[in-house]
């Protein structure tokens, strides 16, 4: 257990936005500047706490929960206020606090109609509570509460500030997620009673002996959790809410949705579903992998059919989250490390793409790619940024996207012991084809939007290029995309031990993939070794498949 300030810092990271929210509510609606400043100060302070955690985190023991606090919360149901971060939650927590600040900065002069600065920023603050809280919760009920808190603010953000079809999109988003989380809650309760130790504590449940629970019941419980998380991710075939929600949401809403909210689902898999029910995870893994690769291909094909730039990026999210889920489905340390990396990378890259889509819309009042073109001539900076992010998104080596995608594909070449290798290698081939498609649709979008000459209707318009607020909001993300791309060890080093602890729980897991990963933990910040250190036999056929596809 942490003491002193360390015992408070996670609580502060989560609940500082509530204080800011209260202040914002007290300020009269017309004092817009003051409201913006208070919100920014709150989110910066929150980020400060998150950075404190990042700085003082003990990187030698990333598998251990740090800054841990456990206090009685709801005694009658044995639920505790148990919080803490390990190597997996830390990057997510920091990402969440970080992206929120950038969203507030971006909002500075990009308020969507119907304006109402006060309500908009209040919702962002409320959203941040839910997002940050989910990543620190170590109790199923606490997790559930935070997981649900994000629903209402996002619902309002889409419904009030969204596009023409906002009513439909917002309720669809809401009901899909609620449906999943209702079943997820039932699964949580079932695991509570079935393990026989009457606790909602996540570490305790992971450690608990689950042999009392028959395999069939485990499968059903896992199924409940699966629905809750898979809808949030979203995996095919539960993804249909996502393109609607993204398309209609205001820019900042889309960014937060893509960067953080989707990660709540994948994070739930890694934090809760896999370690608590490892045996069921094993039985489910081929199906998860199947849905993941279907998502990759379906998302890619969906992208190719879009005319709306934002909707295209939304479908690309389906594909990218497919890679994350594919990595998870391998049930290997290699795959799950890749998944966590993919979560962060996708958060940064797709978040950036949505920012750009928002600015394009702000400038041209349309996102129809057939009406756009020549961004590079009219607003060259924005055009180059779009190019950079597209490259990152399609997985160009040297940028962050590569390290989420490529190892995830690689990991299923040798899935965890006991999983059908032939099936997973088939998935690998399909996923590799997906990367080609990804290059296809992203370059297609880039070509439509950035290349060529401006369309006639915009010829005489003066187009604003990237402004100050945009630079402040975007630059940190762009830098991170580059830094994580060049030095992926920064992330892998943090997650590796924590991931290995999870993987250990899988029955009779082969040690090979874990072993092959060990050098990385020691000198993981060297990008060069990262690539070559994997088991040579793993790589060679993988790469040939890759190029073959």
Partner 1 sequence: MFAALTSANPHVDFLAISPEIALIATVMVVLIADMILPERSAWQTSRIASIGVLVSLAWVAVIAFRDPIAPMFGGSYAIDDYALVLKGFFLVATYVTILLSVDYIAEGDYYQGEFYFLLLCSVLGMTVMASARDLITLFVALETISIPTYVLAGYRKHDRRSNEGAIKYYLIGAISSAVMLYGMSMIFGLTGETNLAAISAKIGTLPDSKVLALGVFLSLLGFAFKVSAVPFHWWAPDTYEGAPTPVTAFLSVASKAGGFVAMLNIVFFGFGLQPSLWWLIIWVGAALSMTLGNLSALRQTNIVRMLAYSSVAQGGFMLVPFAAFGLAQSHGDAAVARGAMRSVIVYLLVYGAMNLGAFACIIAVARRTQSGEISSFSGLFQHSPVITVMMTIFLASLAGIPPFAGWFAKFTMFQSIIEAGGGWGVTLGVVAGVNSVIAAYYYLNVVRSMWFRPAADDARPVQVTGALGASLAVCVGLVMVVGVYPSFFGDMAEAAAKVLG
Residues that bind partner 1 (CB under 8 A): 73-77, 119, 141, 144-145, 148-149, 151-152, 155-156, 159-160, 166-167, 170-171, 174-175, 178-179, 182-183, 185-186, 189-190, 192-193
> What's the half-sphere exposure (Cβ side, CA atoms, 13 Å) at 6?
14
Cβ count near 323 (within 10 Å): 31
Q: How far is 327 from 346, CA to CA, in rounded Å?
A: 14
Q: How far is 431 from 322, CA to CA, in rounded Å?
A: 9
Q: How far is 180 from 176, CA to CA, in rounded Å?
A: 6
CA distances from 400 to 19, 80, 296, 347, 358 (A): 34, 37, 18, 10, 22
CA distances from 354 to 315, 316, 350, 371 (A): 12, 11, 6, 18
Of the pair 179, 444, the CB lying nearest partner 1 is at 179
The torsion region of residue 373 among left (phi > 0), alpha (psi -120 to 50) and beta comes to left
Of the pair 183, 527, the CB lying nearest partner 1 is at 183
Q: How far is 443 from 21, CA to CA, in rounded Å?
A: 41
8 A C-beta contact, residue 169 and residue 249: yes
Q: How far is 274 from 144, CA to CA, in rounded Å?
A: 17
Cβ count near 453 (within 10 Å): 12
- Nearest CA among 88, 509, 506 for reference residue 281: 506
The helix (H) or strand (E) run that includes residue 251 is helix 251-256
Output the smallest distance, CB 180 to partner 1, in A. 9
CA distances from 380 to 384, 464, 473 (A): 6, 10, 18
Output the smallest distance, CB 362 to partner 1, in A. 22
DSSP 8-class letter at 85: E
- Nearest CA among 13, 12, 6 for reference residue 67: 6
Output the smallest distance, CB 148 to partner 1, in A. 4
- Nearest CA among 123, 114, 147 for reference residue 263: 147
Q: How close are the terminal C-alpha atoms of the chain, in Å?
A: 50
Q: How far is 51 from 57, CA to CA, in rounded Å?
A: 10
Give Cα 233 distance to the centre of its chain: 8
Q: How far is 425 from 410, CA to CA, in rounded Å?
A: 9
Of the pair 4, 164, the CB lying nearest partner 1 is at 164
Continuous H helices in 66-165: 89-107, 117-136, 140-149, 151-161
Output the smallest distance, CB 97 to partner 1, in A. 20
Output the smallest distance, CB 176 to partner 1, in A. 9
Of the pair 112, 351, the CB lying nearest partner 1 is at 112
Q: How far is 19 from 94, CA to CA, in rounded Å?
A: 19
* Residue 100: both structure tokens together: 């929120």
């Amino acid at each position: 257990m942490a003491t002193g300030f360390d015992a408070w810092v996670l609580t502060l990271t989560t609940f500082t936005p509530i204080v800011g929210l209260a202040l914002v509510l007290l300020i009269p609606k017309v004092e817009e500047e003051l409201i913006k400043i208070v919100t920014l100060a709150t989110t910066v302070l929150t980020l400060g706490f998150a950075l404190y955690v990042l700085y003082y985190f003990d990187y030698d023991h990333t598998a251990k929960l740090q800054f841990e606090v456990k206090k009685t919360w709801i005694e009658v149901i044995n639920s505790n206020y148990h919080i803490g971060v390990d190597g997996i939650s830390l990057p997510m927590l920091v990402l969440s606090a970080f992206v929120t600040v950038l969203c507030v900065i971006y909002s500075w002069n990009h308020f969507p109609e119907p304006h109402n600065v006060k309500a908009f920023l209040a919702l962002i603050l409320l959203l941040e509570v839910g997002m940050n809280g989910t990543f620190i919760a170590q109790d199923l009920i606490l997790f559930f509460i935070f997981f649900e808190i994000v629903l209402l603010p996002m619902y309002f953000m889409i419904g009030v500030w969204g596009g023409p079809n906002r009513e439909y999109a917002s309720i669809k988003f809401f009901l899909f997620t609620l449906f999943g989380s209702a079943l997820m809650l039932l699964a949580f309760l079932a695991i509570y009673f079935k393990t026989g130790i009457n606790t909602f504590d996540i570490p305790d449940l992971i450690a608990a002996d689950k042999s009392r629970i028959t395999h069939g019941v485990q499968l059903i419980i896992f199924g409940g959790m699966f629905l809750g998380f898979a809808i949030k991710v979203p995996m095919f075939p539960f993804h249909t809410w996502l393109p609607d929600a993204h398309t209609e949401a205001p820019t900042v809403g889309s960014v937060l949705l893509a960067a953080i909210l989707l990660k709540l689902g994948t994070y739930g898999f890694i934090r809760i579903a896999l370690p608590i029910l490892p045996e069921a995870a094993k039985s489910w893994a081929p199906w998860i992998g199947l849905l993941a690769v279907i998502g990759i291909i379906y998302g890619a094909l969906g992208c190719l059919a879009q005319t709306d730039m934002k909707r295209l990026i939304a479908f690309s999210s389906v594909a990218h989250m497919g890679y994350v889920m594919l990595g998870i489905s391998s049930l290997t340390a290699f795959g799950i490390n890749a998944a966590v990396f993919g979560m962060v990378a996708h958060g940064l890259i797709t978040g950036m793409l949505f920012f750009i889509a928002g600015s394009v819309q702000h400038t041209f009042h349309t996102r129809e790619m057939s009406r756009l073109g020549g961004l590079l001539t009219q607003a060259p900076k924005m055009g180059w940024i779009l190019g950079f992010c597209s490259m990152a998104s399609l997985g160009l080596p040297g940028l962050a996207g590569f390290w989420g995608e490529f190892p995830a594909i690689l990991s299923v070449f040798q899935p965890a012991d006991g999983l059908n290798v032939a099936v997973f290698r088939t998935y690998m081939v399909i996923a590799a084809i997906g990367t080609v498609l990804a290059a296809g649709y992203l370059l297609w979008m880039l070509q439509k939007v950035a290349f060529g000459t401006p369309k006639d209707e915009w010829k005489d318009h003066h187009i604003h290029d990237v402004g100050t607020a945009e630079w402040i909001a975007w630059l940190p993300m762009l830098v991170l995309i580059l830094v994580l791309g060049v030095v992926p060890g920064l992330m892998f080093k943090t997650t590796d031990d924590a991931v290995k602890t999870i993987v250990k729980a899988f029955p009779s897991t082969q040690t090979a993939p874990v072993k092959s990963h060990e050098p990385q933990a020691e000198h993981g910040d060297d990008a060069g070794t990262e690539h070559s250190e994997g088991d040579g036999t793993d790589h060679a056929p993988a790469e040939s498949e890759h190029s073959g596809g």
